[in-house]
Amino acid sequence: MRRKSGVRADGTPQGWQRRALARGLTDPAQAAELAVESVCRLNHLVERLQEAADVHTVLGSLATCLECMPLALEGLTAYLVSQQAVGRLRRGDGGDVLERVAAVGAATTGAHQAVSAAAGALRKAQVALSDVYGPVGEEGGDA
Amino acid sequence: MPDRETAIEGHLVIARRGGLMTTDNSQEARAQRLTTIRALTDPLEAGDLAGEALGRVQRLVDQLDNANEVYDVLNDLECCLRRIPGTLIGLVAFLKREAAASRLFNDDVNPSAAGSVATAEETVVEARTLVLAAVEVISRAESAVSRLYSAPREDDDDED
């Protein structure tokens, strides 16, 4: 039987425990670190894909990752702008703080566009694969 | 008791963040998180957790405390992006291998999945290129932030 796309362990205690791991975090740096570790683990485990539906699901997860980044980048820039506005930012080399903040803003805007477009491309790939199933073995059942 | 690798990574994080994560609780919690992630054996679960974690970053980003944290988060976002192309290559390799072996099928009238796989590959390659471009741009943002730091607040002085 063809497996529908979706994370298998979603409703299991392990699935809830896994999600609680992220949702329990209150520090953005810790959440970002968790994201890095998870993406590294995914990279390591990609050899264990079993079905076309797995590819569809992982593409969706990666698209979700990318879709979260623009707002995160906006938040980072907004924080720097607010800190600069209240005079709390300093520059280690003694230069113009505003120039550095503007450079960060320009770079994050570029990244924003690239990751948004990348997320869109991954969603398109998901659509292309939405009717694909298998691998199907020689016996006619799923491998 | 964390293993040697976890302990080393913990020290690296402490060094990177200027001693901000030196409390036992945060160290233990971090070790627990690493243990949980390393116990994952299903790529779907790892992908799901990555999405959850980045969703959490998005929600928590208004709780930043200083410019160093901006650098840390930017650095972690860049690390995430750097890993994604490798994963995408793995996904495409799986599809191409199975399609070449004629083991993938469509629900459509045309039973062959070759066209769908080719379309998916094309868009995944496009995504990969865009992700690599984003890595370069975020690196520039990191470079710009690296020269910035937050002046201590007055109440920080009181705590000292």
Name residues whose C-beta falls within 8 Å of residue B63's C-beta, 6 or more positions apart in sequence: A26, A27, A28
**pLDDT single digits (tens) A46-72:** 999 999 999 999 999 999 999 999 999
Name residues whose C-beta falls within 8 Å of residue B68's C-beta, 6 or more positions apart in sequence: B17, B18, B20, B149, B150
CA distance B36 to B25: 16
Helix and strand numbers (H, E) in chain B are 6, 2
Nearest by CB to residue B44, choosing from A21, A39, A54, is: A54
Average pLDDT over residues A15-27: 88
Helix-strand-coil split of chain A, %, nearest 5: 70, 5, 25
Alpha carbon of B100: minimum distance to chain A alpha carbons (Å): 11
Alpha carbon of A1: minimum distance to chain B alpha carbons (Å): 13
Q: What is the pTM of this model?
A: 0.86
Test mutation, B30, B54, B112, chain A, max A CBs within 10 A: B54
Of B121, B125, B81, B70, nearest in space to B98 by CA: B121
Test mutation, B12, B107, B137, chain A, max A CBs within 10 A: B137
Per-residue pLDDT of chain B (160 residues; tens, 9 = 90+): 344 344 434 433 433 443 334 344 688 889 989 999 999 999 999 999 999 999 999 999 999 999 999 999 999 999 999 999 999 999 999 999 999 999 999 976 667 899 999 999 999 999 999 999 999 999 999 999 998 999 987 665 554 4
Of A7, A29, A20, nearest in space to B36 by CA: A20
